[in-house]
Structure 1
Amino acid sequence: MKRTILALSLAAVFALVACKDKASSKINASNVDVAAERDAAAKSLPVMTFEEVEHDFGTIEQGTPVETIFKFTNTGDAPLIITNAKSSCGCTVPSPPKDPIAPGSTGELLVKFNGSGQNQVTKTITVTANTEKGSEILRIKAFVNPKNGPAAAAVPLKK
């Protein structure tokens, strides 16, 4: 036990003595300026602002494909890059733009729904981008009447 304490003490003394060099004298001023510019640019982020985050297709017949476009604007101060867009199931297919969206510019996200399911159907689309939040959630919904069956009436939901 005494040997361990002695060894740790010697290591601590050696570490303190070895750090006599002044690290501040080794700083290159031009590197500090470059780092400050890089840090300022890293704080610039895109912001994805959608015209609507939910779309209601109304009443459709089962198996009827429908589609909608979610329009958005990059209201931030850096280019917006969408890295992924996925839906909560395979019946909904989002198609995001491939190119970056410049600040102040608009973009469109096409969403196709194949009309599967019955009655009230709600699907979510998760859009992953280089925004501060990292992802945005969109929703589509429809009331799907079964094929070759009696049409059911959509019951309005209370908000």
Structure 2
Amino acid sequence: MKHILLLAFALVASMAAMAQPKIEFDHTTQELGTLLWHVPQTATFKVINKGTQDLLITNVRTDCGCTNAEWTTTAIGPGSMGYIKATYNAEMLGHFNKGLAVYTNLDQQPHYLSLMGVVSMTNAEATTEYPYKVGEYYLSTDDVEFDDVNRGDSPTYVLSILNSSKKSFRPELMHLPKYLTAQADPAVIRPGRVGRILLTLNSNELHTMGLTQTSIYLSRFMGDRVSKETEINVSATLLPDFFDTPTQHALAPVAQLDSTHLTLGPLGKKKKVTGQVMLTNTGKTPLVISALQVYNPGISVSLNKRRIDSGHTEKMKITISTNTSYFKGRHRVLLITNDPDHPKIVIDVTVKK
């Protein structure tokens, strides 16, 4: 009897040992690369439970106050996945290797993770996320687009700014038209930090259907003047309103292009090159082109007829000149039509080099 009890106890102990959580990580080391000074970076470690019982992360300790951690606080079931997020504050220049000790209900011994990288005053990777340089500031874009706007809309565009200078910067925009408002968040961007300007469009202040373009300018200091360097293009495309019944929709015009992408050139020694796109109305009623515009002043477009009868085709000529290289923004042609399914048609134009 004694031997039977010992055997049963051993069997139960063996089953208990088998029925337990088992922790695995997708990575135990995260290489963060080059970080900009004072710009925190977050890494995420995936935690997988390969065992047969729930896994619980009880604590995550970092080896300094420069790193903060958050983690899945609920039980991670067998075969399920949780996370550990570690944020390094990048307050110290130079290389870093920071550790995290992960405690679980598996045993009393921690599992170790690490973050590695380097903090720099002049982040080599800043030009990837903020490729447009204005003095000592880097912008996420210099070409703001409000596409597919309907009358009454108030869309907001987020323009991010990286302050790589050694002084705090109060971002402001000059020459804002009546239909645009701007708000800086935060009002002052500290050295090495990223801020943003929230550009909001009031579509009710747009007077014309189709494309409206303007230039605004980033002010770098008190008394700064407008220049090509500080210029930011802003475009808004206001769509026509359609209130048609199903019967009217069935009889509507249908705009069909043979291509929405045109490749021209190369220019070489030529001052301009021309290509063409065929526009066909496959609908039941006349197709009307109410606006035919270009996004870039270096492009010109011509269309003999703005009213195309059902079943008819018109040739659209598009010309690009050497002057196009002096202007910012993409090379595009815009059509505003009375086709309810295609009120806006955009043709992208590229030039061979």
TM range, smaller chain: 0.5 to 0.7
1:143 aligned partner, one-letter code = V
| Unaligned ranges ≥5, structure 2 | 122-163, 167-353
User: Are the equivalent residues in 2 in contact too, given 1:45–1:132 (CA < 8 A)?
Assistant: no
Q: Does the alignment pair 1:108 with 2:68?
A: no
Match of residue 60 from structure 1: 35
Shift of 1:33: 6.5
User: Are the equivalent residues in 2 in contact too, given 1:81–1:129 (CA < 8 A)?
Assistant: yes
Instruction: State the distance in 2 between where 1:34 and 1:102 align.
Output: 27
Higher relative contact order (CA 8 A, sep 6+): 1
Partner of residue 143 from structure 1, selected from 118, 121, 124: 118
2:50 aligned partner, one-letter code = T
Match of residue 90 from structure 1: 65
Q: As a proportion of its length, which structure holds more helix? A: 1
Deviates more, 1:37-46 or 1:92-101: 37-46
Instruction: State the distance in 1 between where 2:10 and 2:77 align.
Output: 24
Match of residue 126 from structure 1: 101
Root mean square deviation of aligned Cα: 2.8
Instruction: State the distance in 2 between where 1:36 and 1:100 align.
Output: 27
User: What secondary structure, in the 3-state scheme, does the structure 2 residue paired with 1:41 have?
Assistant: helix
User: Are the equivalent residues in 2 in contact too, given 1:45–1:130 (CA < 8 A)?
Assistant: no
Shift of 1:144: 0.5
Instruction: State the distance in 2 between where 1:118 and 1:86 align.
Output: 23
Instruction: State the distance in 2 between where 1:76 and 1:132 align.
Output: 13
1:79 aligned partner, one-letter code = D
1:98 aligned partner, one-letter code = T
Task: Give per-residue Cα distances to partners, 1:6-39, cap 9 Å, x unaligned.
Answer: xxxxxxxxxxxxxxxxxx6xxxx8xx97996476
Instruction: State the distance in 2 between where 1:73 and 1:54 align.
Output: 16
Deviates more, 1:124-133 or 1:94-103: 124-133
Instruction: State the distance in 1 between where 2:12 and 2:39 align.
Output: 53
Shift of 1:45: 2.2
User: What secondary structure, in the 3-state scheme, does the structure 2 residue paired with 1:141 have?
Assistant: strand
2:91 aligned partner, one-letter code = S
Q: As a proportion of its length, which structure holds more strand? A: 2
Q: Which has the larger radius of gyration?
A: 2
1:69 aligned partner, one-letter code = T
